[in-house]
Structure 1
Amino acid sequence: MGALNGKTALVTGGSRGIGRGISERLARDGARVAVHYGRNDAAARETVAAIETAGGQAFALRAELGVPGDAETLWAAFDEQADGLDILVNNAGIVESKDPIATVTPEAFDRVFAVNAKAPFFVTQLGLSRLRDGGKIVNISTTLTRGAAIPDLIGYSMTKGAIDVLTMTLAKELGPRGISVNAVAPGVVDTDMNADWLRNEPEALAAAAEASPFNRVAKADDIADIVAFLSSPDSRWVTGQWIDASGGALV
């Protein structure tokens, strides 16, 4: 019997990269997974099909984030296919631009905050009435907020700093309902988001691997397994935590 049998999970950005890894792992543990995505219908169908082929349950949920009414659209679509929620994983995020402070534009700044900070705030706000007591919220942060600063990612990093504050504050607010709230902070992960510089540049790949005592770069499954623990009953006494998921790169 899976640890999450009978549970319903929602993973934002759940059709690709880390999100897909999380969706598939939660489904393997028995959860029925709402695989949220923004635009890529094919990726969402592929992820749902992979879950179902492996014996799990899932459905796709389309809602573009970072636009007016995004949270309302997401939850309206969710309510058509599910009745109540047990696990919310705020994973969706973008890197709008790679620029130091001198060249970040107001448009890029607003866009990355709209998707990475504002959207999860209001998705969570509207989700609380659907999240059952004893539920789980897992937010995806980054090591860039704690000792791994990269000037060219200042805007992205600031959005994840907001996620860290959201995590700590909600943990205190939702504790009386038995709801735990934690953040998982990956370092470099081999996903499509990093493919342009990681997979095509051997020197960059080697440098990223050397940052970890394990001398390798994380895969999506490495992060998904941590999220699975925080989504399970075994994590019942863990809340308000920022979990370093960099493979020891900050040591």
Structure 2
Amino acid sequence: MRLPLQIVAIVLAFVPPAFAAERVLLANGFDMHCNHHTQLGSMIRLYMNPGESSYIELRPEEIASFETVPDSPPVSLASNTAGPRTDTRLNPADLNAMLATAGQQHNLDADLLASVVKAESNGNTHAVSRAGARGLMQLMPETAAEQGVVDSFRPDENVRGGSAYLNDLLVRYHDNIALALAAYNAGPAAVDKYHGIPPYHETRAYVARVIHEFNRRVLARQVYAHVGGFPSVDPASTPSQ
């Protein structure tokens, strides 16, 4: 599984919104979510679900404050999309399976693919951007054609094509994930022209957003592996920071 060395998991992890009742603001400037917490001796124990079997412990000085997480309806469309199509989402397990399969086929981390899906479409299979990009991984028609995608609104085709394209970009930029993501957003010509991430606000914000989400997922995987069991989570359901 390709895990670019440029990525270092520095941001504490998410918990699925159905379980997250508290947002924990950390002294280092980052945050995470938990269901509830309690102080035991000199440590603060953060419980990952309504029970008490899964938890992590932090020192009080590592925590700045706690906030209650309000219940909120899911976002109906990704913020960078427009168009008349209705918001259509896959069953989380089906989407996770597609991403896992695509990751195995192209030696990509499924969490990286999930992070791209979240940033591109927020899990909406019929998302259409103002520029005409379509589907889960927001394929432009010419990119879809190059990758052999007949219908970008078919989730399996879209994920297959988007994953293959991202893999091509990672190969092109020698596994530099930031450059590959910049090229995914702005096109390889722009990256080559500026010999790096183009000075476009949208592209730089996109790269930062995907990497931030990927880092959170990587650390979440580590946390859940430590406490025992990683839940199946819809890539689009993770709360944005």
Assess same fold via TM > 0.5: no
Output the TM-score relative to the length of structure 1.
0.27
Relative to its length, the structure with more helix (as a share) is 1
Output the TM-score relative to the length of structure 2.
0.27
Q: Which has the higher contact order (CA 8 A, sep 6+)?
A: 2
